[in-house]
Amino acid sequence: MSAIISDVRAAFANAWRLRRPVLAAHLVFSLVLGTVLVPVMALAVRLALKLSGQPALADFDIAVFLLSPVGFVAFLFLAGFALFLFVLDVSFMMAIVLRERHSGETRVLETIMLIVPRMRVIVELGMRLTLRVLAICLPFLAVAGAAYFAWMTEFDINYYLSNKPQEFTRTLIVAGAVLAVMAIVLLRSLIRWTLTLPLVVFGGVAPKQSFAQSAEEMRGQEIGFGSRILVWIAVGFVVNAGAVAVLGVVTNLSIASFAGGLQSLVLFLLLFAGLGAVVNFSIAAMTTGALATLIVARAGWPGKDAPSVPPIPSWAKPAIAGVAVAAVVLTGIALTQLARVEANPEVQVIAHRGAAGAAPENTMASILRAIEDEADWIEIDVQETADGKVVVVHDSDFMKIAGVNLRVWDATMPDLAEIDIGSWFDPAFSDERTPLLSEVLDLAKGRAGVVIELKYYGHDEMLEQRVADLVEAADMVEHVRIMSLKYSAVQKMRALRPDWNIGLLASASLGRMWELDADFLAVNGATTSHRLVRETRAAGKETFVWTINDALSMSQMISKGVDGLITDEPALARKTIAEHRELNLIERMVLGLAGSIGLDLKTESYRDDSP
């Protein structure tokens, strides 16, 4: 074991000794990634979506698309391309280590020219590796999925996640064991294929033959080299986690000491953002350099003849300079566009299931509290009961909020009158019962708008029509928005009421969401980008983000230009919006970039922050 640790320590020491060329190579890779490779991936996604017949896909539609022939081919390409990116970075590092061992030279441009002629076969290697990894993983994933469907589908998923019953633990143990075996099998295979990269890049072996040749050369060495890889992973994890922890502690202490206002935090956020970027970049370069050192040593180089460096073509230096200039220009354009983002002066506050941070979700108490907290809109979830009523409830059953095993579509109003949905939050709310949509509309009328999410669990009958009839009966058409996670439901509602304000709710998305037939988008705050907000606004539509529950995250979203905050804390949102108006342009830009540069602004967890 001491020899293993010694080898890994020597690999990291070698990466540090070669830090200048290693950092330079990683910088070149990052520039190429940002200016060439990422746009290529984006273009591939757009082409795949065009073949699907839609400008964008969200949530369940993404899964359906990936199971189609076109979607599966697109997935293989993107997964293979992602592996190619990792392989390319390692290849740059291996070229540096190999050249230094063979001739003592560490000129970055020459080492890069070792890799450039082999780009095509590196892409092919990534594709073949993707297929092999899928072939290993899919059977294990199928077994884990079967365990989930066998033990965790009787009740709504939110019940299992919140209450963690015996079935949840059983599924976790079985699926965890299956996935652990999968990880062992996959790791063993990846170790046997370790030499595919140097064989293809430096040995001239075809990608198809490289797997068998690598396995043959690694025969009997799997445990020894695998142990070194595990130690390398552990060291990399500890170093990265330690750096993140230190930065996180310092950041949190700074945030706590400046809790009186957002303005005082901006300088600290900017400082830690820059420091964090440098640390992350350096750690990534050093760990990749150490891995390259281990692989080169195992491959037997420089005992083998090192590949000759081809002459540096006349276009090489101008090309690298062009990439650098392009990176600077693109960064400048991005910052200019960011500076031009105008925070909506009238950001709307949408109370998530009412004021769910102060009262039990989707109850009359939470609706009333949201009105008192001056929410502009109250977001609720609706479903149909067995007796054809439209009720306000999120989950498919009442296990999470009441411990009652009753599906909403099997319930009648007399059943619901007996179910206490408030005591789980606080015994003071024991009188709360599942409200009707009509009751919520009556309470909100003239005081707040209502955003109605149509929930679908496969048992709806006339949900869209019944909701439309109730809204019209309450004379609330101008003060109601309809949304759903299912784009087909959005289209169905559009056909029923073409002039209503109808939006798409999305947790994950692919493509140009703003081109879909929706008046607004309600998107996950974690996936909200400046471009999404900018393009949605240019299309004449609005962007709402969920579920944003702390002041810093709220201010970050406002800085991105969103039109509304879906939150469990409407009173805090109202206060933060007022405070954000006092920030200048630079301060808004820093807050707007906070999530993109890796700063986690969340300070509190909630029982359920799903839409």
> Does residue 112 have a pLDDT over 80?
no
Which among 265, 294, 309 is the end of a domain? 309
302, 373: one domain = no
Are 404 and 393 contacting, i.e. CB atoms less than 8 angstroms apart? no
Q: Are strands 564-567 and 542-546 parallel, antiparallel or unpaired?
A: parallel
> Which pLDDT band, with edges at 50, 70 and 90, does 605 fall under?
low
End-to-end C-alpha distance for the chain, whole angstroms: 50
Within-domain flag for 262? no
Residue 388 Ramachandran class (φ > 0 left, ψ -120 to 50 alpha, else beta) = left
Within-domain flag for 272? no
> Does residue 183 have a pLDDT over 70?
yes
pLDDT, tens only, 570-589: 999 999 888 887 766 556 65
Question: Which amino acid, residue 522?
Answer: A
> Does residue 598 have a pLDDT over 50?
no
> Does residue 538 have a pLDDT over 60?
yes
Task: Check residue 261 and report its DSSP letter.
Answer: -
Structure tokens at 559: 């800085």
Q: What is the predicted pLDDT for the residue at 195? A: 87
CA 265 to chain centre: 26
Averaged over 208-230, what is the pLDDT? Answer: 88
CA 554 to chain centre: 18
Which among 259, 294, 309 is the end of a domain? 309
508, 575: one domain = yes
Residue 42 burial (10 A CB sphere; 0-12, 13-18, 19+): exposed
pLDDT, tens only, 27-86: 888 877 777 777 777 777 777 777 666 677 776 677 777 777 777 777 777 777 777 778
> Which pLDDT band, with edges at 50, 70 and 90, does 472 fall under?
very high
Mean pLDDT is highest, among 172-181, 189-198, 224-233, for 172-181
Are 420 and 433 contacting, i.e. CB atoms less than 8 angstroms apart? yes
> Does residue 366 have a pLDDT over 70?
yes
Within-domain flag for 268? no
What is the C-alpha separation between 589 and 341, in angstroms, rounded? 9
Number of domains in the chain: 2
What is the C-alpha separation between 207 and 199, in angstroms, rounded? 8
What is the C-alpha separation between 315 and 319, in angstroms, rounded? 6
285, 377: one domain = no
Within-domain flag for 24? yes
Torsional sign, CA 315, 318, 321, 326: negative
289, 353: one domain = no
302, 350: one domain = no
Question: Which amino acid, residue 591?
Answer: L
Q: What is the predicted pLDDT for the residue at 331? A: 67
Within-domain flag for 260? no
Are 522 and 546 contacting, i.e. CB atoms less than 8 angstroms apart? yes
Question: Which amino acid, residue 200?
Answer: V
425, 292: one domain = no
234, 172: one domain = yes
CA 571 to chain centre: 28
Does 134 or 415 have the greater pLDDT score? 415
11, 52: one domain = yes
The pLDDT mean for the chain works out to 83
- 302: number of Cβ within 10 Å: 16
- 290: number of Cβ within 10 Å: 25
Domain containing 507 — which CATH number? 3.20.20.190
- 17 to 287, 289, 311, 427: CA distances (angstroms): 13, 10, 27, 64
Question: Which amino acid, residue 119?
Answer: M
HEC letters along 170-195: HHHHHHHHHHHHHHHHHHHHHHHCCC
Which among 260, 287, 309 is the end of a domain? 309
> Which pLDDT band, with edges at 50, 70 and 90, does 262 fall under?
low
Does 527 or 146 have the greater pLDDT score? 146
Are 23 and 282 contacting, i.e. CB atoms less than 8 angstroms apart? yes
Within-domain flag for 488? yes
> Which pLDDT band, with edges at 50, 70 and 90, does 363 fall under?
very high
Rounded to the nearest 10°, the torsion over CA 24, 29, 31, 32 is: 140
282, 361: one domain = no
106, 231: one domain = yes
Within-domain flag for 254? no
Residue 592 is inside which H or E element, if any?
helix 585-593
Within-domain flag for 119? yes
Q: Could you list the residue range(s) of the whole structural domain that residue 302 is in?
A: 2-240+277-309
Q: Is 545 helix (H, G, I), strand (E, B) or coil?
A: strand
296, 375: one domain = no
Averaged over 158-174, what is the pLDDT? Answer: 85
Question: Which amino acid, residue 442?
Answer: D
Choice among 126-140, 380-394, 438-452, 573-587 with the minimum mean pLDDT: 573-587
300, 389: one domain = no
> Which pLDDT band, with edges at 50, 70 and 90, does 593 fall under?
low
Q: Return the percentage of the chain with pLDDT > 90, whole number.
A: 41
Q: Are strands 56-58 and 509-511 parallel, antiparallel or unpaired?
A: antiparallel
Structure tokens at 197: 């990269």
Name the residue among 57, 507, 516 with its Cα closest to residue 65: 57
